[in-house]
């Protein structure tokens, strides 16, 4: 079977594909160097929060690889993003209902990552049901394709709109897997950032606030004493986490005199809209830089 014989709509097994074209037999994104291909395998019925399927924009949306924690632009994700540079063709295969012991896939056709908007990020639960940031690729058809296969329940809007009412999404429970816990991410990130600030000559500590009439103690993750700055740390950069942090910072700020500046510390860069939210409230956002140190929106 040559790549020319991979007609849109052809039904094949994954084993046949890998025997002919190479690639890895596990995972949804399978790059191959022997045949200059990237094979993408899509589940029979992706869950709604997986952001995988045809959108109303005529583009096939594909959730990136990575089952727990924030997805990163590495390995298969990076190979897919750079498929044009490496001369690889992208072929998408949709899993069919199981009728025998061997799973079959329908070839939806050849695609390319949209050069104008290659991907966007979204919030979705990971394999443990914990909200995280996922990468969603936008794949445009190249030549003949099969329009069958999964469809997105809702195509991402191209502009912000206010709706009078909208149903809450129903998220299916995910299987529990061993991973770094949210509290573990926060502890590691807090310690690293505290070391970073001390390296800049800052005095850093934690802080607590006891509110009159309440028994609960409000705990502030980090206090930059030198700069009079409150720092709230979150385990990811989802909208849920950013909004929670904004509320906490605005709440804590009331109890300090003089009024402190505010910082949100997250493990990765939030989406542009969330950065705009923080900027509108004069909240600095910081996250680890790839080469070490931290990136700040106030730099």
Angle subtended by helix axes 239-253 and 272-280, to nearest 10:
10
Predicted confidence (pLDDT) at residue 14 exceeds the cutoff of 80: yes
* Mean pLDDT (whole number) for 148-153: 87
pLDDT at 71: 92
* Mean pLDDT (whole number) for 131-138: 92
Q: Where in the chain is the domain with CATH 2.30.280.10?
A: 3-145
* Mean pLDDT (whole number) for 15-42: 92
| CA separation for the pair 39, 1 (Å, rounded) | 15
* Mean pLDDT (whole number) for 235-256: 94
**Distance of alpha carbon 21 from the chain centroid:** 29
Instruction: Name residues whose C-beta falls within 8 Å of residue 99's C-beta, 6 or more positions apart in sequence.
Output: none
pLDDT at 4: 55
* 219, β-bridge pairs: 208
| Weakest mean pLDDT among 29-43, 135-149, 165-179 | 165-179
Instruction: Name residues whose C-beta falls within 8 Å of residue 221's C-beta, 6 or more positions apart in sequence.
Output: 186, 190, 206, 231, 232, 233, 265
Among the listed residues 235, 291, 293, 298, the one whose alpha carbon sits nearest the alpha carbon of residue 268: 235
* 110, β-bridge pairs: 91, 142
pLDDT at 172: 47
Q: Where in the chain is the domain with CATH 3.40.1350.10?
A: 182-296
* Mean pLDDT (whole number) for 185-190: 94
* Mean pLDDT (whole number) for 120-146: 89
pLDDT at 174: 42
279: Cα within 13 Å, side-chain hemisphere: 11
Band of pLDDT at residue 175, cut at 50, 70 and 90:
very low
pLDDT averaged over every residue in the chain: 88
pLDDT at 209: 86
Band of pLDDT at residue 160, cut at 50, 70 and 90:
low
Question: 85 is written with which tokens?
Answer: 């540079």
Model-level pTM? 0.71
pLDDT, one tens digit per residue, over 201-210 is 999 998 888 7
Domain boundaries 182-296, corresponding CATH code: 3.40.1350.10
CATH 1.10.260.40 fits 3-145, yes or no: no
């Amino acid at each position: 079977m040559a790549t020319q014989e991979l007609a849109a709509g052809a039904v094949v097994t994954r084993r046949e594909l890998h025997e002919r074209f190479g690639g890895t037999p596990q995972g949804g994104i399978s790059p191959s160097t022997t045949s200059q291909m990237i094979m993408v395998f899509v589940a029979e019925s992706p869950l709604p929060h997986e952001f995988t399927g045809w959108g109303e924009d005529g583009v096939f949306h594909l959730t990136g690889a990575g089952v727990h924690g924030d997805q990163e632009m590495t390995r298969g994700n990076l190979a897919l993003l750079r498929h044009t540079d490496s001369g690889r063709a992208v072929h998408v295969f949709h899993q069919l209902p199981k009728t025998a012991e061997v799973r079959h896939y329908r070839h939806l056709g050849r695609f390319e990552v949209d050069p104008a908007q290659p991907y966007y990020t979204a919030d979705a639960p990971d394999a443990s049901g914990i909200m995280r940031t996922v990468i969603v690729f936008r794949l445009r058809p190249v030549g003949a394709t099969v329009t069958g296969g999964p469809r997105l329940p809702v195509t991402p809007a191209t502009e912000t709109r206010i709706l009078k009412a909208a149903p809450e999404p129903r998220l299916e429970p995910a299987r529990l897997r061993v991973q770094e816990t949210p509290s573990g991410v926060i502890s590691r990130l807090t310690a690293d950032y505290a070391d970073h600030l001390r390296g800049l000559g800052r005095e850093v500590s934690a802080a607590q606030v006891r509110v009159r009439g309440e028994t609960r103690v409000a705990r502030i993750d980090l206090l930059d004493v030198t700069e009079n700055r409150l720092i709230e740390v979150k385990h990811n950069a989802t909208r849920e986490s950013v909004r929670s942090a904004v509320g906490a910072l605005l709440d804590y700020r009331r109890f300090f005199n003089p009024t402190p500046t505010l910082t949100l510390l997250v493990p990765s860069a939030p989406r542009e809209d969330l950065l705009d939210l923080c900027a509108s409230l004069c909240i600095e956002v910081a996250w680890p830089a790839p080469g070490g140190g931290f990136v700040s929106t106030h730099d």
